[in-house]
């Protein structure tokens, strides 16, 4: 199975800050990497697919980059509504696997 | 607008069986790759099973031999038959469309609790 290592596990930042989360795959997954936002009591929501493509309707302050084994997710200017847990997920091979999550809080 | 609505969750004893349903609108289940994803309390999501548009199915090792994914064309509904339930199957179960391993549409989830 492909292991996804996400860091940090938690993050606290000010509104307006630039926030970065990283995700490392245990083997080359090309660009088959998605990022999800999960808020309490809600299903995860797709934000980024194919490492860097923004899902329609998702604000442009969210972005993703990387390929192979190393990936980055960025919020360019943190907003209060971005408080959530974020997960990376590889879709290169079965079983599809998720990172451990990053819980984002406002300072 | 795509909508996925899960049902069938509940409280079950270990060893019991349960069938989850996911009624779809705005998409045709048989024309899409459809998955079940679960999330145990305090944990991240875990992919459980997929049925491809051609009917081929795959399962996570943790449920292989116990769970069966299927679909009903006439009802446009996805199912997950769960047998020999264990405490570690306790989770919220989501159905999701999963083209190329990307979970782009999710249902609201149905809660399964396995406890004596």
Q: In terms of C-beta density within 10 A (0-12 exposed, 13-18 middle, 19 or more buried), how is residue A63 classed? A: middle
B83 touches chain A (CB under 8 A): no
Q: What is the pLDDT of residue A86?
A: 98
Residue A71 CA neighbour count, 13 Å, CB half: 33
Q: What is the pLDDT of residue A94?
A: 97
Q: What is the pLDDT of residue B103?
A: 98
- Please tell me the distance in Å from B20's CA to the nearest CA on chain A: 17
- Indicate which of A43, A44, A58, A85 best probes the interface with B, i.e. most B CBs within 10 Å of its own CB: A43
The verdict on a CB contact (< 8 Å) between A43 and B106 is yes
B65 touches chain A (CB under 8 A): no
**CB nearest to B101's CB, from A36, A44, A92:** A92
CA separation for the pair A29, A33 (Å, rounded): 8
The verdict on a CB contact (< 8 Å) between A90 and B101 is yes
pLDDT tier at B98 (50, 70, 90 boundaries)? very high
- Please tell me the distance in Å from A5's CA to the nearest CA on chain B: 12
Weakly modelled stretches of chain A, pLDDT under 50: none
Tell me which DSSP letter residue B89 carries.
Answer: G
Tell me which DSSP letter residue A55 carries.
Answer: P
pLDDT tier at B34 (50, 70, 90 boundaries)? very high
- Please tell me the distance in Å from B90's CA to the nearest CA on chain A: 16
The verdict on a CB contact (< 8 Å) between B109 and A95 is no
């Amino acid at each position: 199975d492909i292991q996804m290592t996400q860091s940090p596990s938690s993050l606290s930042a000010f509104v307006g800050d630039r926030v970065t989360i990283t995700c490392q795959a245990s083997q080359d997954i090309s660009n088959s990497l998605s990022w999800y936002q999960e808020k309490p009591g809600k299903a995860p929501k797709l934000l980024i697919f194919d490492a860097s493509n923004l899902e329609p309707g998702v604000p442009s302050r969210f972005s993703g980059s990387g390929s192979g084994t190393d990936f980055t997710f960025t919020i360019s200017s943190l907003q209060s509504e971005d408080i959530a847990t974020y997960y990376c997920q590889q879709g290169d091979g079965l079983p599809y696997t998720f990172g451990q999550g990053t819980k984002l809080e406002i300072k | 607008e795509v909508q996925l609505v899960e049902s069938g969750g509940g409280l079950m004893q270990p060893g019991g069986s349960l069938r989850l349903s996911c009624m779809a609108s705005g998409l045709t289940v048989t024309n899409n790759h459809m998955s079940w994803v679960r999330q145990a309390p305090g944990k991240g999501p875990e992919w459980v099973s997929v049925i491809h548009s051609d009917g081929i199915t795959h399962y996570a090792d943790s449920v292989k031999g116990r769970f069966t994914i299927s679909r009903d064309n006439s009802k446009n509904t996805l199912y997950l038959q769960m047998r020999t339930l264990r405490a570690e199957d306790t989770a919220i179960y989501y159905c999701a469309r999963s083209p190329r391993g990307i979970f782009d549409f999710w249902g609201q989830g149905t809660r399964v609790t396995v406890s004596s």
